[in-house]
Structure 1
């Protein structure tokens, strides 16, 4: 595939999914169900998933799709994928249900277990973020395209801005925060937590709690191309994808940390 050649169509798919999400968001019926893992599922998740999957298959029928809302593919099959799309059609369903605007559409391209391209769209604010490996990260709103650059910092700086989930602030995360020098906490939901770092508006995002691969991939490449990194808390290595179990290890996302 040619990312640059098809970028407008890819961004259009994300925006179309976002428009469908907003239709439900502004309605009186979210159609909330509870999945097997006790997480919520709405009409918006389903509609966005259908739009994204059909749009990607129309453009690239040869590239498989792994989505949170599709039937999961056996590892024996997907382990042989040289590349695939990794999709979260509505990241932040809990935030969607709360109507606080902190939810996104996430579309990532994975190659050989590494994320190489990503698109994140915020339906309420109409902010588009995208990146491709070694080609930079960008923010688009209202026709204005701006390169993204995360902020340089040292871990012992005073008053670092630490992004924490609205829904997940546990003991391990609190311990991490307590080790910093007078940090300031910033509360956001969904993959917006990565984008705040990529935009230069915060320095750290510790996620010492479970996430799935589709929660992080698209935003990870955007942060990386903006100068940041997303590191496995145990190994010190970047997150990888298409593992046998599609659950991420605990990780910490950094803006442009200085050694």
Structure 2
């Protein structure tokens, strides 16, 4: 049995577009051969669900969400999660409000995404979502990620530096100008590790295929000698074992 874990935005799906049909066709053939296919994304369970709803023929065998903080099975039952401790969450939220003022931010729980000061991911085509207040968000015990659009890669890196210097228990996962803050240990590499542990699947190293297109994919790409797509930034192409035209092309070559 082989296994593919693919990033979604910019990798399996085109930025500002839809999932190419060749990727969908490849998944059908991959799973028909008895192999496992799943999404490894920075999106939360509810937001990746919105995209998968557009393609009911797609039935991933697993979902790694929130940069590895949430692991779900094919029925989207949560197998594992890494939540921010409530005391840390409150401090981080108030810090971000001081640093960013009324800039939009997502508070992502195990199963839903809530917004403070509006939706920071509208440019990704993500629709409106329920709003919450700073005080209500700080009282949650199921928050796995805080997400914001910093407009540029440099802005996201600077915000990551400030937050992680003040809170060493945090890790920043960056995808273009978007910054996700998770509890340390929640990244796409450890997400794959935790998914394999939770499912009990025994996958030989040569049968594990990881592919992504941006900075938050790097931990998994480096750890698993993974792949990227032609549209990825140069630094990703430099780190990848091989560059493919698409996820579908990678799957068909390794079927």
Q: Normalising by structure 2, what TM-score?
A: 0.28
Return the structure number with greater relative CO, CA threshold 8 A, min gap 6.
2
Which protein is richer in strand relative to its size?
1
Q: TM-score, normalised by structure 1?
A: 0.27
Greater percentage in helix: 2
